[in-house]
Chains A and B, each alone.
Chain A
């Protein structure tokens, strides 16, 4: 089986962290892995049991073609929709078997270009981290929702948790990329909320971890709002610093409107931090309003300030939410994710015979496919569809 993923070990974004976890799950079973642009060199290398090819996209295509020639009809997990066209062509040529595509968030919330859309339609399964992403993708690309599988992410960051109700001051934390192209993160509203909360008499401080070309604008805004004394821009940090900051904070705040899942919320909740997030995208499937934190409409900084005041003034509520957040994060376990992915991998590999020459080294006869595509769940999704009947809820 191939896992096709890009920049898996180069970057720290949510997509890359997901692919690293998946790589870890699949390489334990001896799966092949091809990654792109992870090494500046030209020669492929082994990294954590996976094959990394350096260079550009063409190098990736050539490497994939060569590897699939060696192991024809192998199943594949396509780590991003941008890789679909290549996979589709190889499948048409009989060089790849069944494949599933992984959906992360924004890239799946709309209509794909024709080649990718055709490839998605031919996929055995589309795997999303949230129902929201699955629904949007299937709707815009004309794919039967029954083909989707929901496998939420799992938290891999371990942080010491200590029950610590806010005393004199409520310590807030935001972790985000401050890039102008990510204008949906809502940090400016967090700053407005901090100012409003302070005006209402709530003692609050804010640590912001992350960097980017939008940082000067946000710092300037904090200056205009006269809150630079209580807002600290930390910039990029190490994982250890992040863990330390998490363990010393009270509330995680990131009202981003375009999170497919929001692994950052999970990490914060694992540290016992209630989250204040935006009521958008896949986030409501991670943070439950009124239980693990609060969800606000994008831009509603007054409501955010109200919830900050509430958490500051009600220690029991804070402790209840902190505990609920921690339990919620624990339910998104690596074990559950691993089980779901392993089950999917087995399904992908149980392929029908495809009408192409079988290479002598891989002369296998595959069992017939199941009569109905099962729907996998990550273990903590609300089941809404009735079984065995025409599934109105999953579209026409």
Chain B
């Protein structure tokens, strides 16, 4: 398992095993040295008494504060690492300690005296933790491929997972039956004091939900406080004993991070932007301007079709789970890592928090539309779909025909294949996903924000960012994805987050005039490669060969003629590129991992 994770930690590795009668516990770790580069940071790590052991992935940003509190002057700390802070905090406060940690983390902690193992994941799901259980044994790891490497996990496809993938572009858990994801903010406790393991899953942090409104917040004060929190978060995220870079797109989020980096006195920031010869998709101009304004050490990674084709095999080999988006992150991470940078900041989370996606406006429209009778909406929806089937307006008709709740706005926005299309692709297509547990507060914008944070961001973006960046031994940090910031922003009125004048008005206002007009007064460009263009040229043969291979489709539980129809639909312009690309990624990934239904 450790070998399978070597790419995540080229600076060292370790493993240790304990036998407790019939029960055995093994902890392993590969190290990427970022804080305290000395041997004292080796893992698995213990504290002075030797009772507690840990294998830890992530960063604890408030570790210095906790270190000071825990260090009672008796020299209980053997290192200056955040890892040891977790051990000491647990030794002092038990499971209450987990709620005090601020950062991104996933760890396994062994209490040799109480005969207990606890697996913990951070509340926002920044760091992953997968586990598989079989015959009373449990394996856990930061990546699925490490679990597969044990040889103990059945490579059987989870059809529910495939169904979710077709429905929204990702699977909430995993596409492999035996593999589960530890939910964010949860801990999995294994008690083996009686010899056999008994596992229980529980939550240690509160559910992500907008706080109950108390007094109406004041806008000036709230935006000022937001800037203050962003500054504090940035300060925490800059803590490293190695240089820190920034993924700079020239958009609002990354430009805000650049301003904050400067404000927190980080010296000359090192910024990186991916640019394309196809200027329509390239943010070179904007990234270059803001980089020049802030006098950064700026690097442009120029990528042409031939370059991406050459990188594809490596990208797919690194793809821990099938994903449509992750290749972008792989490419830029590889470029950044090649310059010697080990840590990079990303503006991920900004769209979810500050209403940067179309789903937010759709939620508002849905709320308005919901005031009309449902029968009228259903009729209009049917007519619309009949008149223009498969058109870009398809989602609008779907939304109109739904119950017009924020959840519908979110699921329709995130939809990949419609239920009808998915049912054609997959004869055993599972029923619609369950409505997640929600405490809908009446503010549709904040509710969509919560769904985006919990769903798209946590289950897809953060997951992909983790394995695609760690494939190049690069740690990506996400300053917007911070408990305190999320709590504060979710408590502000949703109406503050949308404006006709500018995107993300709350964030722009909080920056207090630091973001120039050319950054926010332009169309939003997502961080997407021009696959639409490339799939018709250099990638065409490759994609076609996979999609038209009936064996691969059947292994994935898909209907080969339906898959062919999707490819043909794309070629004749009826379907968006995301549909054939998602199928291509899925089939290729399943083939490479030898996973079948």
Chain A residues with a Cβ under 8 A of chain B: 109-110, 132, 135-136, 139-140, 183, 257-258, 279-281, 284, 289-290, 297, 299, 306, 310, 314, 316-317, 382, 384, 389, 392-393, 395-396
List, in ascending order, chain A residues with CB within 8 A of B340's CB: none
Contact indicator A297/B265 (Cβ below 8 Å)? no
The reply on B532 being an interface residue by CB < 8 A is no
Docked-complex contact A396 and B73, CB < 8 angstroms: no
Residue ranges of B at the interface with A (Cβ–Cβ < 8 Å): 64-65, 68-69, 72-73, 100, 214-215, 220-221, 224-225, 228-229, 232, 259, 262-263, 265, 293-295, 484, 487-488, 512-514, 516
A310–B69 touching, CB < 8 Å: yes
Residue of B nearest to A279 (CB): B228
In Å, the complex CA distance between A281 and B227 comes to: 11
CB atoms of B73 and A384 under 8 A apart? no
Of B64, B221, B232, B516, chain A has the most CB atoms within 10 Å of the CB of B221
**B225 partner, pick from A280, A290, A382, beta carbons under 8 A:** A280
B521 to chain A, nearest CB (A): 14
Known contacts A183-B215, A314-B69, A316-B72; is-contact A395 B513 (Cβ 8 Å): yes
A317-B512 in contact given A136-B220, A297-B484, A297-B487 (Cβ < 8 Å): no
Cross-chain contact A139 with B294 (CB below 8 angstroms):
no
Known: A258-B221, A290-B68, A384-B265. A135 touches B487 (CB 8 A): no
Given known pairs A139-B513, A297-B487, the reply for A392 and B259 (CB within 8 Å) is yes
Interface of A is mostly: loop
CA distance A317 to B73 in the complex (A): 8
A132 touches B68 (CB 8 A): no
Q: Are B65 and A396 in contact (CB under 8 A)?
A: no
Distance from B407 Cβ to chain A, minimum over Cβ atoms (Å):
28
Given A109-B221, A258-B221: A314 and B72 within 8 A (CB)?
yes
Residues A110 and B72 in contact, CB atoms below 8 Å apart: no
Question: How far apart sit A389 and B294, CA to CA, in the bound complex (Å)?
Answer: 11
The residue in B214, B225, B232 that gathers the most chain A C-beta atoms within 10 A of its C-beta is B225
CB-contact partner of B73 in A280, A290, A316, under 8 A = A316
List 6 A-B pairs, minimum CB-CB distance, nearest first. Answer: A316-B73, A290-B65, A139-B512, A110-B220, A395-B513, A310-B69
29 CB-based A-B contacts, threshold 8 Å: A109-B220, A109-B221, A110-B220, A132-B224, A136-B220, A136-B224, A139-B512, A139-B513, A140-B220, A183-B215, A257-B221, A279-B228, A279-B229, A279-B232, A281-B224, A289-B65, A290-B64, A310-B69, A316-B72, A317-B69, A317-B72, A382-B265, A384-B263, A389-B295, A392-B294, A392-B514, A393-B262, A393-B514, A395-B514
Q: State the CA gap A139–B73 with chains docked (Å).
A: 45
- B516 contacts A396, C-beta separation under 8 Å: yes
**Given contact pairs A280-B225, A317-B68, A317-B69, a sample of 10 additional A-B residue pairs in the complex whose CB atoms are under 8 Å apart:** A109-B220, A132-B228, A135-B512, A279-B232, A297-B484, A297-B487, A297-B488, A389-B295, A393-B262, A393-B514
**In angstroms, how far is the closest chain A Cβ from the Cβ of B557?**
48
Q: How far is the CA of A396 from the CA of B512 in the complex (A)?
A: 10
B488 contacts which chain A residues (CB < 8 A)? Answer: 297
Does A395 lie within 8 Å of B512, measured CB to CB? yes
Task: Note all chain A residues with C-beta closer than 8 A to B259.
Answer: 392
Within 8 Å CB of B220, what residues of A? 109-110, 136, 140
Give the chain A neighbours of B516 by CB distance below 8 A.
Answer: 396
Which residue of B has the minimal Cβ distance to A302?
Answer: B99
- Report Cα–Cα, A167/B73, bound state, in Å: 18
Q: Give the complex CA separation of A139 and B64 in angstroms.
A: 33
A325 nearest CB across to chain B (Å): 14
Q: Which residues does chain A contribute within 8 Å of B73, judged by CB atoms?
A: 316
Q: How far apart are the CA atoms of A319 and B280 in the complex, in Å?
A: 61
Residues in chain B near residue A257, CB distance under 8 A: 221
Instruction: List residues of chain B with CB within 8 A of the CB of A306.
Output: 100
A290 proximity list for chain B (CB < 8 A) = 64-65, 68
Q: Name the A residues within 8 Å of B294 (CB-CB).
A: 392
Q: Which residue of B lies closest to A390 (CB)?
A: B293
Query: Are B224 and A109 interface neighbours, CB within 8 A?
Result: yes
Contacts of B68 in A (CB 8 A): 290, 317
Give Cα A256–Cα B180 distance, bound, in whole angstroms.
Answer: 45
Report chain B residues within 8 Å CB of A135.
512
Q: Which residue of chain B is the closest to A278 with respect to CB atoms? A: B225
Taken together as a complex, chains A and B put the C-alpha atoms of A140 and B218 apart, in Å, by 14
Q: How distant is the Cα of A253 from the Cα of B2 in the complex, in angstroms?
A: 49
> Chain B residues near A140 (CB, 8 Å)?
220
- Which residues of chain A are near B65, meaning CB under 8 Å? 289-290
A177 to B65, alpha carbons, bound, how many Å? 31
Measured CB to CB, the nearest residue on chain B to A320 is B68
Give CA–CA (A321, B304) in the complex, Å: 57
Cα A280 to Cα B217 in complex, Å, equals: 14
CB distance from A265 to the nearest CB of B (A): 17
Distance (whole angstroms) from the CB of B16 to the closest CB of chain A: 32
Query: Which chain A residue shows the least CB distance to B214?
Result: A299
Q: Which residues of B contact A392 (CB under 8 A)?
A: 259, 262, 293-294, 514
Q: Which residues of A contact B512 (CB under 8 A)?
A: 135, 139, 395
Cβ–Cβ < 8 Å partners of A139 in chain B: 512-513
Q: Which residues of B contact A183 (CB under 8 A)?
A: 215
Instruction: Determine how close the nearest CB of chain A comes to the CB of B250; give it in whole angstroms.
Output: 16
Identity of the chain A residue whose Cβ is nearest the Cβ of B219 in the assembled complex = A110
Using Cβ atoms and an 8 Å threshold, which residues of chain A touch B293? Answer: 392
Contacts of A299 in B (CB 8 A): 214
Is B72 in contact with A393, judged by CB distance below 8 angstroms? Answer: no
- How many angstroms from the CA of A299 to the CA of B263 in the assembled complex? 28
Least Cβ–Cβ distance between A111 and chain B, in angstroms: 8
In the assembled complex, the Cα of A297 lies from the Cα of B488 at a distance in Å of 9
A residues less than 8 Å from B487 (CB atoms) = 297
Contacts of B100 in A (CB 8 A): 306
Which residues of chain A are within 8 angstroms of B229 by Cβ–Cβ distance? 279
A281 to B220, CA, bound (A): 11
A393 and B266 alpha carbons, distance in the complex (Å):
13
- A295, chain B: closest CB distance, angstroms: 9
Complex-state Cα separation, A132 to B259, whole angstroms: 17
Q: Give complex CA distance A223, B293 in Å.
A: 58
Q: How far is the CA of A139 from the CA of B510 in the complex (A)?
A: 10
Task: Report the Cα distance A384→B259, complex, angstroms.
Answer: 12
Specify the chain A residue showing the minimal Cβ separation from B211.
Answer: A299
A393 and B263 in contact (CB under 8 A), knowing A183-B215, A297-B487? yes
A299 to B215 alpha-carbon distance, docked (Å) = 12
Bound Cα distance from A395 to B259, whole angstroms: 11
Chain B residues lying within 8 Å of A297, measured Cβ to Cβ, are: 484, 487-488
B513 to chain A: closest residue by CB? A395
Inter-chain contacts of A314 with B (CB < 8 A): 69, 72
